[in-house]
Amino acid sequence: MRVLEGARLGPRSTLGVGGPARFLAEALTEADVHEAAALADERGLPLLVLGQGSNVVVADRGVEAVVISMGLRGLRVETTDAGVLVTAAAGEPWDPLVAHAVTSGWAGLECLSGIPGLVGATPIQNVGAYGQDVGAVVTAVRALDREPGRVVTLAPSECAFTYRDSAFKRRPGRWVVLGVTYQLSPGGPPAVRYAELSAHLMSQGLDRPTVHDVRQAVLQVRRTKSMVLAHDDPNARSCGSFFLNPRVAAAERERIADAAGDRSMPAWPEGDGRVKLSAAWLIERAGFRRGEHDGPVGLSTRHALAIVTHTGAQATDVVRFARRLQEGVVARFGVRLVPEPVFWGFDHLTDGLPSEPAA
């Protein structure tokens, strides 16, 4: 295993900001992961895992940790009476896996097309989009459990999936995901649960879409929002959606709609008496404009939920701008948006954001 000291993490993240890791361990095998964990224990340092860096903000001073650069590869397919079980190593790129499933005619992942990152991140975030979440198709997660120091296989109930959350996210540092098994449905119907996606398909005359149709539609919609990574896109340096869509009680939804003066405010019932609101809508109604910027950091010109960085940006700039958005929405609607990315190398978090950005 190759271990680098002081490797800068900014170039390894989609935001392009952040200082060095104390140690960066390039793990290509499970033995490498165990070796990296041993190094962290030996040095008394946290153990962190970096995929494609699409959901992380690293402090400008860097992070005192052993950071695993996840490189485990491998794919196994098993046909069962219940469907197809696809087991992928944590370092497998996510979108090519989705493309493979769609090409094979397996339903279950098609709405998750175009999302950057690696397989290992999907159960941690319970990655989801357009009405589909991986938690609905994950059947097992193989992981190094650092508490007993052994490899375990976790069932979905042990993963405790909720909206963009999981046991892995709630207990950072305990598990290192090594592989994930998904149960997909050969010839199954695609998921078309999201109004925007349905409208796009209908505009193409696709009233009975295939999984291929849905994947292409999702990619097209995401591209209009600069939510598919493209190096020639001026909005490319982002980590996608910076805030989670807030979930509120039905009565709160009415209060917020009244405050906005717009009874057509988008909201989606969650089935538990709560409704999910659009964070992007709240940000724009709080007075922030797409393309608005503060120095080298601002909002995407195509989507109000993406914070983008430009030449000269630092992590402190990202945090300050995110705090502006968060406080603006609180002042306007009394709703506090929760950040989606994780923050490395910062001392304290307040309301989900670093309270004193680390230089």
* Residues designated as active site: 164, 241, 340
> Which one, of 316, 318, 320, lies nearest residue 307 by Cα?
318
Residues 20 and 45 both lie in one domain: yes
Pairing of strands 63-70, 21-27: parallel
In terms of domains, do 156 and 93 share one? Answer: yes
CATH number at residue 65: 3.30.43.10
Tell me the CATH number at 154.
3.30.465.10
pTM over 0.85: yes
Average model confidence (pLDDT) across the chain: 95
Which residues are registered as beta bridge partners of 21?
63
Residue 217 lies in a domain: yes
Residue 359 has pLDDT above 60, yes or no: no
| 230 belongs to a structural domain | no
For residue 355, the model assigns a pLDDT of 85
Q: In which residue are the tokens 């040095």 written?
A: 43
Q: Which two tokens stand for residue 49?
A: 């895992």
The domain of 55 spans 2-70
pLDDT in tens, 284-300: 999 999 999 999 999 99
Asked which of 199, 224, 249 is the last residue of a domain, the reply is 224
Which backbone phi and psi does 289 adopt, to 5 degrees? -110, 145
Residues 88 and 62 occupy one common structural domain: no
State yes or no: pLDDT of 357 exceeds 90: no
Looking at the structure, tell me whether residues 41 and 151 fall in a common domain: no
User: What is the rounded CA–CA span in Å between residue 153 and residue 155?
Assistant: 7
167 and 267 inside one domain: no
Q: Is the pLDDT of residue 195 over 90?
A: no
Confidence check: pLDDT of 119 > 60: yes
Quote the number of domains for the chain.
3
Average pLDDT over residues 57-79: 98
Quick one: angle between helices 211-224 and 195-203, nearest 10? 110
> Does residue 60 sit in the same domain as residue 82?
no
285 lies in the same domain as 151: no
Digit-coded pLDDT (tens) for 202-243:
999 999 999 999 999 999 999 999 988 888 888 989 999 999
Domain assignment of residue 11, yes or no? yes
Within-domain flag for 140:
yes
Both 103 and 51 in one domain: the answer is no
311: left (phi over 0), alpha (psi -120 to 50) or beta: beta
Indicate whether 251 belongs to any domain: yes
